Amino acid sequence: MMKEKITGYSGSYIKNMFRIISIASAIICIAVIITAILGYTNTKESLINKAKSQDIVFIVKSMSAKIDSRISRAIETSYIFARDPLNIEWVKGEEQDKEYGEIIQNKMDSIANSYDYNNFFTAVIKSKHYYRANSKKNDNGENYIVLQEDNPEDKWFWSVLKSKKTIDFNIGYDSVTKNTFLFVNTIMGSVDNPVGITGVGMNINEITKEFKEFKVGKESNLWIIDDKGIIQLSDNVEDIGKKYSEFVPESVVNNIENNSTDAKQEVKVSQYSKENNKIVDYSYCKLSSGDWTLFYEIPRTESISLLNSLRNNTIINVILVLAFFMILFYFISKKIANPYEQAILMNKELENKVNIRTQELRESNQRINDSIEYAKRLQESILPSKEELKKLFMENFVIWKPKDTVGGDFFG
């Protein structure tokens, strides 16, 4: 019975101990997981806020400043050239003065080479002659070409005249250099009475290289959009000439049009959701060099791509921490349970020895008591009974009070 009681107590104690360790392990595991989730969530929010408030804004600001710088320099150069009295006089004189013509040609060559312009030109309104820097004379000994209204490459000329703007922009292909250029066109004379157009052509390939350097993400887009919503510059040449409304929701187009202000280089940030519920962050600002808008968009999954590695590292760390605690509690439980089990076993052995000795003593004591009782009965059989004493003595009494079970005296 004692064995069963001790064994039951031992099993109950070990069960309770493992229950406590299991609960403690579960609490620690939950705490580690919650800490990891909160850390991941906070980091994700921080990265999203940083991407929206800093990274995207930085890309748009940096690119707009770079584009504005190049365009502004081109505008200034072409404007100064267009306002040069010598140039205006030569154009008004219908290019008759050959000496002036050579001077102007040398000027264009010098400007193009000094500022590293891919194309620098002067177009005369009346004669439709088109002069460009570093040009070679043709078979007729002329260093110009004649613009033709039915030639698709020359439509820009009539478009600039119709725009009634002192400075206008257009994207055009130059068959001589076989490159596409962003042209900054400046009217010579007044808008109502122009005498010529002079301007600078910047190679789009060079600008698109800069776009690619600034752009982050494979699915992001970086565009320069004109006031008609047409993409004029992009790192993807195939997008040029298309309306950006073909690529973004109508809500984005309306947002840009409704929030368009006269503030130059004021960067605005917003977001929209695609059909697959993917969030896309976008930012835009109006270029200070014209009526064009720089637009940049990037899927949020790409702007916070760092989260993928962070999530994987977090999961790995949580697994390692949990495994460490499981191993730790396993050894702790072993260290606690084994000594206790050993103590229980030793206690059982001692209990068994005590029980055996107690039983032996009980049996020995019983034998002694039986012997004493037998001696008592022998003694009582020897002593005379009351009836026998009455027969012998009329009056008698006996005081018989043995100290122990068997007395030491006899009477008779």
Q: What is the pLDDT of residues 79-125, one digit of tens each?
A: 999 999 988 989 888 888 888 888 888 888 888 888 878 788 999 99
Tell me the whole-structure pTM to 2 decimals: 0.58
pLDDT at 3: 47
Q: How confident is the model at residue 195 (pLDDT cuts 50, 70, 90)?
A: very high
pLDDT at 46: 62
Average pLDDT over residues 240-266: 80
Q: What is the secondary structure of 184-211 as a DSSP string?
A: EEEEEE-SSSEEEEEEEEEEHHHHHHHH
- The answer to whether the beta carbons of residues 293 and 260 sit under 8 Å apart is yes
Domain ranges of the chain: 83-206
Phi, psi at 20, each rounded to 5°: -65, -45
Residues in a beta bridge with 297: 221, 282
Could you give the CA distance from residue 283 to residue 244 in angstroms, rounded to a whole number? 14
For CA atoms 265, 271, 274, 276, give the dihedral sign: positive
User: Is residue 337's pLDDT more than 60?
Assistant: no
User: Is residue 60's pLDDT more than 90?
Assistant: no
Could you give the CA distance from residue 327 to residue 240 in angstroms, rounded to a whole number? 62
pLDDT at 296: 86
Q: How confident is the model at residue 279 (pLDDT cuts 50, 70, 90)?
A: confident
Could you give the CA distance from residue 368 to residue 340 in angstroms, rounded to a whole number? 42
User: Is residue 146's pLDDT more than 80?
Assistant: yes
Average pLDDT over residues 10-19: 60
H or E element, residue 348:
helix 306-382
Phi, psi at 36, each rounded to 5°: -65, -45
- If you average pLDDT over every residue of the chain, what do you get? 78
Q: How confident is the model at residue 385 (pLDDT cuts 50, 70, 90)?
A: confident
Tell me if residue 95 falls in helix, strand or coil.
Answer: coil
User: Is residue 5's pLDDT more than 70?
Assistant: no
The letter for the amino acid at 26 is A
pLDDT at 338: 59
Structure tokens belonging to residue 96: 């008759």
Choices 3.40.50.720, 3.40.50.2300, 3.40.50.150, 3.30.450.20: CATH for 83-206: 3.30.450.20
Structure tokens belonging to residue 57: 């804004």
Q: Which residue has the higher pLDDT, 334 or 215?
A: 215
Read off the pLDDT of residues 289-333 as tens digits, 9 standing for 90 and up.
Answer: 777 888 888 887 776 555 566 666 667 777 777 777 677 766 766
